[in-house]
């Protein structure tokens, strides 16, 4: 029964990915066509070859963090395109590796938050795999509440600390 | 089983003793009934006498169960000098006197006597010796004897505590006396340290260190400082807890998915999984009889306290109602447990009886986490916050007496009370 549920979820997620794909591929050309409409397709493919989109500050790949509501480990709709874009990038760049670092705000026990951060990182990892990244490219760890980027004791800080960072190996 | 030693070990392990590490101790509240005692400073070596006196008075005051009787300039060291009538007039129930000397070998020898002023009888007459520089230990042992004779409960002043001191990116695992003094640095590094856990005999600490880039469980001898990796699987390895006989440990691993509880021998052998929830199951703690585990789980939608037989079997939810609950620990008598309760943006230290299922808040609430019992079950050590810093705090198990201990700098986190020596 459990297996069935999991596979149904997987099918749904795959379907979600698949249905998003056309949207992304159409979105990308419109972006580049705005820049390179004059020089047509030749210029567009040239920029793709020349520059790693990972280094393009305007690319969605420049976003390397995913944020969460309190005590939630599922990637939120707003951040799904970011994770999917990284999944696609990793699928087409099999030599690149990432480390997923899950973090939490300070509410909860340190140990509970370690578990929650791991679920956050593992959730991003799964979504990257569904997007075509290979397991060998991915490592997921949790820092729980131990490495906050913001040290305040209010929501403004907490919201920054509830986070999974996608860190590419150099 | 990997043993980290040699140069790596030397870099990481700094055995240092820092005197006067605690700047400030605040005591709030008082016991229901306070025993009036007269503690006369010991005769003999003045410096030793002063240290011992400070420790004895400090220990007894912090327990909240004693009131110091004004000595009115009286000084005596011998039983022949004791006038019971004098001390009865001053309102003392008990009187402590003694002498202390440094022996030629450097050892400290204190001769200590405790009298019941009301019954006009000597309760204790004992010689306490300790190595050079261990005057505080002498004081703690004398305080323990006074506490035990006058309350009927075993003292805990001679026991030790462990906690993590965080200063920016620097983390230090500290072992200290129960009053926070006599700090020993067990481990210092620039990666987080979490969840120290005492072996039942007090000889080892298990803890979580991020030095390998993720959470891994280590076990370290407090005598030799030798340390071993107990669990370093992919994902997170954490929440070590010892069985009362020290023969097995519960740990939490994410290698098979979400945080789940496993049993393992302290040498790393015989690893086996015992929870299968798919939720976060963490913070296991053995019952005093070794038969049950309390743990935190969010399987019901929020973090709550559960109990299960160690050898597997039905898992029972123990906490309900508003808010969420974390970090359970059994009472030493096995009748209930303490935990951190979160509700309306505050953390409280709470206690619950197994029989009644009623939760009782022991603190007013704030940022109060990670409670652990003193070996006698009369005091609870926990992490709190004051003046913008993480501090150590205690509350008596009846909630009446609280104290705040401010360490020298940085945040004190993850405290845990060790066993009696």
pLDDT at A29 exceeding the cut of 80:
no
* Mean pLDDT (whole number) for B352-363: 96
pLDDT at A138 exceeding the cut of 60:
yes
- Which chain A residue's Cα is nearest to B341? A108
ipTM: 0.90
> For B282-340, how does the pLDDT look when each residue is reduced to its tens digit (9 = 90+)?
999 999 999 999 999 999 999 999 999 998 889 999 999 899 999 999 999 999 999 99
Contacts of A111 in chain B (CB under 8 A): 194-195, 238-239, 252, 282-283, 296, 326-327
> Residue A85 burial by CB count (10 A; 0-12/13-18/19+): exposed, middle or buried?
buried
Contacts of B258 in chain A (CB under 8 A): 115, 118-119, 122
- Which chain A residue's Cα is nearest to B164? A146
> For B169-224, how does the pLDDT look when each residue is reduced to its tens digit (9 = 90+)?
999 999 999 999 999 999 999 999 999 999 999 999 999 999 999 999 999 999 99
CB-based contact (8 Å) between B246 and chain A? no
> For A32-76, how does the pLDDT look when each residue is reduced to its tens digit (9 = 90+)?
333 333 344 444 444 444 578 998 999 999 999 999 999 999 999
What's the pLDDT at A50?
Answer: 55
As a whole number of angstroms, the distance between CA B197 and CA B246 comes to 12
Confidence of residue B407 (pLDDT cuts 50, 70, 90): confident
- Which chain B residue's Cα is nearest to A101? B214
Share of chain B above pLDDT 70, in %: 94
pLDDT at A30 exceeding the cut of 50:
no
As a whole number of angstroms, the distance between CA A152 and CA A149 comes to 9
Of B329, B353, B165, the C-alpha closest to B250 is: B329
Q: What is the mean pLDDT of chain B?
A: 92
* Mean pLDDT (whole number) for B22-32: 69
Question: How many CB atoms are located within 10 Å of the residue B141 CB?
Answer: 24
> Residue B108 burial by CB count (10 A; 0-12/13-18/19+): exposed, middle or buried?
buried
Q: Would you call A146 and B369 a contact, using CB atoms and an 8 Å cutoff? A: no
Tell me the CATH number of domain A60-168, given options 3.40.50.300, 1.10.10.10, 1.10.3680.10, 3.30.1330.60.
3.30.1330.60
Which of B10-14, B172-176, B390-394 has the least mean pLDDT?
A: B10-14
Confidence of residue B27 (pLDDT cuts 50, 70, 90): confident
Of B224, B204, B178, the C-alpha closest to B59 is: B178
Nearest CB partner across the interface for A115, out of B258, B340, B413: B258
User: Is B275 in contact with B281 (CB distance < 8 Å)?
Assistant: yes
B33: enclosing H helix or E strand: none
As a whole number of angstroms, the distance between CA B15 and CA B3 comes to 19
CB-based contact (8 Å) between B192 and chain A? yes
Residue of A97, A103, A112 for testing the chain B interface, max B β-carbons within 10 Å? A112
What's the pLDDT at B14?
Answer: 37
Q: Would you call A144 and B214 a contact, using CB atoms and an 8 Å cutoff? A: no
Q: Would you call A141 and B369 a contact, using CB atoms and an 8 Å cutoff? A: no
Give phi and psi for A141, each to the nearest 5: -135, 165
Domains, chain B, ordered by start: 34-151 (3.40.50.10070), 160-417 (2.120.10.30)
CB-based contact (8 Å) between A71 and chain B? yes
Q: Would you call A144 and B215 a contact, using CB atoms and an 8 Å cutoff? A: yes
pTM of the model: 0.86
Helix axis angle for B46-63 and B135-151, nearest 10°, is 40
pLDDT at A7 exceeding the cut of 60:
no
pLDDT at B32 exceeding the cut of 90:
no
Beta-carbon contacts of residue A52 (< 8 Å; ≥ 6 apart):
none
CB-based contact (8 Å) between A123 and chain B? no
> For B146-160, how does the pLDDT look when each residue is reduced to its tens digit (9 = 90+)?
999 999 999 999 999
What are the domain boundaries of chain A?
60-168
* Chain A / chain B CB contacts < 8 angstroms: 91
**Surface of B (19-48) touching A: CB under 8 A:** none
CB-based contact (8 Å) between A56 and chain B? no
User: Is B290 in contact with B257 (CB distance < 8 Å)?
Assistant: no
């Amino acid at each position: 029964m459990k297996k069935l549920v999991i596979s149904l979820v997987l099918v749904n997620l795959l379907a979600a990915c698949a249905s998003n794909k056309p949207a992304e591929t159409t979105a990308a050309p419109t972006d580049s066509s705005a820049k390179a409409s004059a020089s047509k397709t030749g210029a567009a493919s040239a920029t793709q070859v020349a520059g790693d989109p990972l280094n393009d500050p305007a690319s969605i790949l420049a976003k390397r963090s995913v944020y969460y509501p309190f005590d939630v480990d599922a990637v939120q709709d707003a951040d799904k395109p970011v994770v999917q874009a990284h999944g696609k990038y990793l699928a087409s760049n099999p030599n690149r590796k990432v480390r997923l670092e899950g973090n939490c705000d300070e509410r909860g026990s340190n140990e509970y938050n370690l578990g929650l951060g791991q679920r956050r990182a593992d959730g991003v990892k799964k979504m990257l795999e569904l997007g075509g990244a290979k397991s060998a490219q991915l490592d997921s760890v949790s820092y729980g509440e131990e490495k906050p980027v913001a040290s305040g004791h209010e929501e403004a800080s907490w919201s920054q600390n509830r986070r999974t960072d996608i860190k590419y190996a150099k | 089983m990997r043993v980290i030693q040699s140069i790596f070990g030397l870099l990481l392990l700094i055995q240092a003793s820092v005197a006067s590490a605690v700047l400030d101790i605040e005591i709030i509240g008082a016991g229901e009934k306070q025993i009036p005692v007269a503690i006369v400073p010991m005769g003999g070596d003045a410096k030793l006498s002063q240290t011992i006196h400070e420790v004895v008075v400090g220990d007894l005051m912090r327990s909240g169960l004693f009131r110091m009787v004004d000595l009115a300039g009286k000084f005596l060291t011998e039983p022949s000098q004791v006038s019971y009538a004098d001390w009865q007039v001053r309102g003392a129930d008990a009187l402590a006197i003694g002498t202390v000397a440094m022996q030629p070998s450097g050892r400290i020898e204190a001769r200590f006597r405790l009298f019941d002023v009301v019954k006009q009888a000597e309760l204790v007459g004992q010689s306490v010796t300790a190595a050079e520089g261990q005057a505080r230990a002498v004081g703690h042992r004398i305080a323990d004897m006074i506490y035990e004779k006058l309350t009927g409960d075993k003292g805990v002043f001679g026991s030790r505590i462990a906690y993590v001191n965080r200063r920016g990116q620097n983390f230090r695992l500290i072992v200290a006396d129960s009053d926070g003094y006599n700090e020993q640095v067990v481990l210092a590094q620039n990666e987080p340290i979490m969840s120290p856990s005492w072996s039942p005999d007090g000889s080892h600490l298990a803890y979580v260190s991020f030095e390998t880039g993720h959470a891994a469980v280590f076990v370290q001898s407090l005598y030799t400082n030798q340390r071993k990796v107990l669990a370093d699987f992919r994902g997170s390895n954490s929440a070590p807890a010892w069985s009362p006989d020290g023969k097995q440990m519960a740990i939490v691993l994410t290698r098979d998915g979400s945080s789940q509880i496993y049993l393992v021998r302290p040498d790393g052998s015989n690893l086996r999984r015992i929870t299968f929830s798919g939720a976060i199951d963490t913070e296991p703690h053995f019952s005093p009889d070794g038969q049950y585990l309390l743990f935190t789980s969010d399987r019901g939608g929020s973090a709550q306290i559960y109990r299960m037989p160690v050898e597997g079997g039905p898992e029972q939810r123990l906490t309900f109602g508003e808010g969420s609950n974390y970090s359970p620990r059994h009472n030493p008598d096995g009748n209930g447990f303490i935990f951190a309760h979160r509700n309306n943006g505050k953390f409280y230290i709470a206690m619950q009886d197994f029989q009644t299922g009623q939760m009782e808040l022991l603190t007013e609430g704030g940022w109060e986490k990670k409670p652990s019992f003193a070996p006698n079950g009369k005091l609870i050590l926990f992490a709190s916050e004051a003046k913008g810093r993480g501090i150590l705090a205690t509350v008596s198990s009846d909630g009446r007496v609280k104290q705040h201990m401010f360490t020298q700098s940085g945040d004190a986190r993850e405290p845990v009370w060790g066993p009696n020596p």
